Copies of this chain bind each other. A is one copy, B any other.
Amino acid sequence: MTHDFDSAIALAPSGPDRFTGSTHPAYANMVGPYGGITCATLLQAVLLHPQRLGTPVALTVNYAGPIADGAFEISARATRTNRSTQHWNLELSQQGVIATTATAVFALRRPSWSSVEASAHGNLPPPAQLPAADLSARLPWTGRYDMRFVDGAFPEPLDGVEQPQSLARVWLRDEPPRPLDFLSLAALCDAFFPRVYTRRRRFTPAGTVTLSAYFHADEAMLASQGTQHVLGVARGLAYHQGFHDQSAEIWGQGGQLLATTHQMVYFRD
């Protein structure tokens, strides 16, 4: 049986540098699709492209406007191909109106000196000792993840009591389980709700305007994760004049840093 994730990111070629796809109800957000599934769908366009070189190094997705439920078209154009790196421009549009733009960097990666410098998060309770969060009544896409918060769960009640920091540490895996790959890793990069909710404990319209994902994992590292939970760690840095940023890490089992990701979030006061 096809996983809903794979159905949601399925694309059909529709011409040179063009693909068509459709939103999937399993990954619906409050309005339009979950941003992470859009990341994965855009990455998929490059992965399916006959000119693609290597594996993902970086992906930046700009949420330029709402995506309506239904069909969309993606254009994917290699802007420059070098010996070992390749740059891509992507646009997702509906009825000729651009809803999302993106750029991607791919590369033929080779063994090199390697190090994880970011601080690891040792001695956390393992997923089996934590309850699974359930926000799916609010946000359908969250039902497609098993999320187990060590700290920084979605604030309930939304009592307006301001918090000094927004750190969240959460075990994450696809629900039902699906072996980790670049596509699901890209989707996980947007799995952290706006940090302003944690800080202010009140609900206001908010959404990602731009997100970058940096891929540190190679295919062997991803394969070794299988369907285990990964650890997501997210925090905000600055909130000002209707926008804030947040940074996150996706850690694999064994202290592997699989991806780092950063975004700017729009929020209403």
Is A241's CB within 8 Å of the partner chain B?
yes
Count of chain A residues with a beta carbon within 8 Å of a chain B beta carbon: 63
Answer whether residue A109 sits at the interface, using C-beta atoms and an 8 A cutoff. yes
**Which one of B101, B113, B196, B236 lies within 8 Å of A79 (CB-CB)?**
B101
Closest to A60 in B: B60
- In the bound complex, residues from chain B placing their C-beta under 8 Å from that of A115 are 199, 238-239
| Contact between chains at B87 and A236 (CB < 8 Å) | no
User: Complex: how many Å from CA A110 to CA B266?
Assistant: 11
Question: What residues on B are CB-neighbors of A109 within 8 Å?
Answer: 241-243
In the complex, A153 Cα to B82 Cα: how many Å?
32
Most chain B beta carbons < 10 A, residue from A97, A165, A241, A262: A241
Interface-forming stretch among A2-10, A32-40, A132-140, A211-219? Answer: A211-219
CA distance A216 to B269 in the complex (A): 16
Would you give the shortest CB distance from A136 to chain B, in whole angstroms?
Answer: 28
Which residue of B has the minimal Cβ distance to A97? B80
A-B contact pairs, 23 of them (CB 8 A): A57-B209, A57-B243, A57-B264, A58-B264, A62-B105, A64-B82, A79-B91, A80-B97, A89-B89, A89-B101, A101-B103, A105-B209, A107-B243, A110-B241, A110-B242, A112-B268, A117-B199, A117-B236, A117-B237, A118-B238, A212-B262, A216-B240, A217-B240
